[in-house]
Amino acid sequence: MMVRRPATVAGSDSTLSTGVTDYSLRMSNITKVSMAYGNITDVYQRALDRQMLHSEIQGYDTLILETKILGRLYTKPAYILFLLLNELQKAEQDQIQWIYWFDLDMVLMNTHIPLEIFLPPTDLNLDDVNAVVTDDHNGLNTGAFFIRVNYWSAQVFADIVAMPSLQPEVTLKYSEQSALELRLRDPRNKGKAVWVPQYWFNGYRGSRDDRGELRELTPEATRKGGLQIHFAGKPVNKERMPQYLDIAESGDPRWELPLERTGLIEETRIFWEHYAEKLKGPVKVEKTATEVTTEARPAGSVTKDEVLEHVN
């Protein structure tokens, strides 16, 4: 099946090379990025359409690579490197600030959530944070992550692309994902990457009952009202994508919550404030978990103490 693309927005200026579709809606300093080449199934096309709807609602440019560049899963970092270099050759005022990568085995559940909510607030002066990422039980998971547009990021992704050739002795269990983790956890890059709660934007389905309710509130499980669910790993996980695409496309109000009812405004602010405080010294928690506003939060939201567990 050929990939069906929504028409490019009228008046857009696509300057990237052949093989990249540029849906220009420049209203944000974030550009969403992914790749979709080869034989794209109807399920993945529906998943992409959900991402495009989110981009349209929130005002994001979205770039989709449609041509394989390198083997062994290295097309992903090579494409990100290309985009970083493409931005860095522009005048600073014309550059975007962040690239947000998403894999196609994601089902976007709530179009009301802006990606900016997950990034360091500008008033906290966390300009040294260049990557916002998540872990799962295997370590870094790059199904969805943010990378700041600057020279540090370009160097990191140049290193990743070159690693198999220049450091063949290094064992990379999860290919380019492991290469990125090695770079981000390098002591020389301390403070450049921040690991945030996985369920914010890279969560898994988790164990759910017949009504879709979580049996256990685990760190990796997307809460109702969350941005999206990542169906990573085994084929049996991806077989569940149609069920959740049906839910997402129906606009189920249990999932399509307004941002202010998700708890994310409070959670993300708490996280970044305490991360900024930790940089200055020991974190002093002045409020207990029960003092965090929870009235508007959906069932399954976390407490302040649980958010703080993720401050690294």
Task: Kindly report which listed range (91-95, 201-205, 288-292) carries the lowest average pLDDT score.
Answer: 288-292
- The span from the CA of 234 to the CA of 119, in Å, is 30
Q: What is the pLDDT of residue 264?
A: 94
Model confidence pLDDT, tens digit, residues 24-61: 444 579 999 999 988 889 999 999 999 999 999 999 99
Side chain identity, residue 105: D
- The span from the CA of 199 to the CA of 208, in Å, is 15
Q: What is the pLDDT of residue 309?
A: 61
142: enclosing H helix or E strand: strand 139-148
Question: Would the pLDDT of 207 be above 80?
Answer: no
Among 120, 76, 81, CA closest to 102: 76
Q: What is the pLDDT of residue 119?
A: 97
Model confidence pLDDT, tens digit, residues 216-244: 667 777 888 999 999 987 787 888 899 99
Q: What is the pLDDT of residue 14?
A: 39
Among 231, 232, 225, 214, CA closest to 265: 225
Q: By three-state DSSP, how is residue 62 classified? A: strand
Q: What is the pLDDT of residue 132?
A: 97
Q: Which residues contact 89 (CB under 8 A, 6 or more apart)?
A: none
Model confidence pLDDT, tens digit, residues 159-176: 999 877 667 766 776 778
Q: What is the pLDDT of residue 305?
A: 56
Q: By three-state DSSP, how is residue 171 classified? A: coil
Q: What is the pLDDT of residue 310?
A: 59
- The span from the CA of 1 to the CA of 218, in Å, is 37
Q: Which residues contact 294 (CB under 8 A, 6 or more apart)?
A: 263, 301, 303
Contact 97, 216 (CB under 8 A): no
Q: Which residue has the tokens 């695409």?
A: 245
Instruction: Select the more confidently predicted residue: 70 or 109.
Output: 109
Q: What is the pLDDT of residue 87?
A: 97
Phi, psi of 64 (to 5 degrees): -120, 115
- The span from the CA of 114 to the CA of 64, in Å, is 19
Instruction: Select the more confidently predicted residue: 176 or 62.
Output: 62
Neighbours of 92 (CB within 10 A): 8
Percent of the chain with pLDDT over 70: 75
Side chain identity, residue 260: E
Model confidence pLDDT, tens digit, residues 250-278: 999 989 999 999 999 999 999 999 999 99
